[in-house]
């Protein structure tokens, strides 16, 4: 696993900080151990964990903001909505320790496990919240409060926008992790993006080193504060997408 990570990160043009690769290996071990007693991941082969969880998550750090021409999350605040076993959030924090990270998931058991992992890996500056994304986003500290929101494998794009964009401060960005087959799905979210104060930015397709797949980041810039009344309850989000 270590070699795959070192080689893969290098191929992606990323230089991990001292000790980060060892931390990722330790995280993988904790994940696979706990996965025996709790449903955390369907991917259990260590090579696949390295590529499809870790390198995939790390790709966020290679995205270049067209406004600034810069990539990376140095010194930024980010929320990972529906983080599950910590993807992509935990990987980003390990590779960019200056990131101030908030993890949100509606499944309490996963959040409790993530808190323990943060302790074991001595990660500072990570807050873990058990709750529904659309409810937490109504709270003052969360609403329009983050530089970046990220999310992978949580909901279809229009629904995901309502769960995630409310967290982003104007000027910040929401990065949705999607497949390259998601074009129709993301096109269908144009109205949601607009209503939530967002503006679509060009897709970023990236290959995952060593895996025969290309994945996609769908970036949305936040250009205006979240309008009153949004996000709605999950029932409404699902029944009548924006
Ligand atoms: N992002 C992780 C997990 C994906 S599974 C990964 O890519 O591996 C989807 C996760 O989203 C689950 O852990 C589920 O509990 C959480 N989730 C789904 N809807 C949510 C909501 N409305 N608010 C918070 N968490 C949610």
CA–centroid distance, residue 98 to ligand 1 (Å): 24
Closest ligand 1 atom, CA of 163? 22
Closest ligand 1 atom, CA of 234? 22
> Residues 86-129: pLDDT tens digits?
999 999 999 999 999 999 999 999 999 999 999 999 999 999 99
CA–centroid distance, residue 132 to ligand 1 (Å): 9
CA–centroid distance, residue 86 to ligand 1 (Å): 10
Decide: pTM greater than 0.85.
yes
> Residues 52-93: pLDDT tens digits?
999 999 999 999 999 999 999 999 999 999 999 999 999 999
Mutate to test the pocket of ligand 1, among 112, 149, 154, 236 (most ligand atoms within 8 A of CB): 154
Query: Secondary structure of the chain in the HEC alphabet?
Result: CHHHHHHHHHHCCCCCCCCHHHHHHHHHHHHHHHCCCCCCCCCCCHHHHHHHHHHHHHHHHHCECCCCCCECCCCCEEEEECCCCCCCHHHHHHHCCCCEEEEEECCHHHHHHHHHHHHHCCCCCEEEEECCHHHHCCCCCCCCCEEEEEEECCCCHHHHHHHHHHHEEEEEEEEEEEECCCHHHHHCCHHHHHHCCEEECCCEEEECCCCCCEEEEEEEEECCCCCCCCCCCHHHHHHCCC
> Residues 185-242: pLDDT tens digits?
999 999 999 999 999 999 999 999 999 999 999 999 999 999 999 999 999 999 999 9
Residues with CB under 6 A from ligand 1: 82-85, 87, 104-107, 110, 132-134, 152-154, 163, 234
């Amino acid at each position: 696993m270590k070699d795959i990570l070192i080689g893969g990160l290098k191929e992606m043009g990323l230089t991990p900080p001292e000790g980060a690769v060892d931390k990722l290996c330790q995280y993988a071990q904790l994940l696979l151990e706990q996965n025996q007693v709790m449903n955390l991941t369907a991917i259990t082969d260590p090579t696949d964990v390295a590529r499809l969880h870790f390198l995939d998550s790390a790709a966020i750090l290679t995205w270049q903001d067209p406004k600034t021409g810069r990539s990376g999350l140095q010194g930024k605040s980010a929320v990972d909505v529906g983080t599950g076993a910590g993807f992509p959030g935990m990987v980003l924090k390990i590779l960019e320790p200056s990131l101030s990270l908030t993890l949100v998931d509606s499944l309490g058991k996963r959040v409790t496990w993530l808190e323990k992992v943060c302790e074991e890996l001595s990660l500072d500056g990570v807050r873990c919240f058990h709750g529904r994304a659309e409810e937490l986003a109504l709270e003052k500290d969360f609403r329009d409060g983050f530089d970046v929101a990220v999310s992978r494998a949580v909901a279809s794009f229009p629904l995901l926008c309502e769960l995630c964009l409310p967290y982003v401060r104007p000027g910040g960005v929401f990065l949705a992790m999607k497949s390259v087959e998601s074009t129709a799905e993301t096109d269908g979210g144009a109205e949601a993006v607009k209503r939530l104060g967002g503006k679509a930015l060009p897709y970023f397709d990236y290959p995952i080193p060593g895996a025969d797949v290309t994945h996609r980041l769908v970036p949305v810039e936040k250009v205006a504060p979240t309008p009153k009344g949004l996000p709605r309850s999950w029932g409404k989000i699902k029944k009548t997408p924006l």
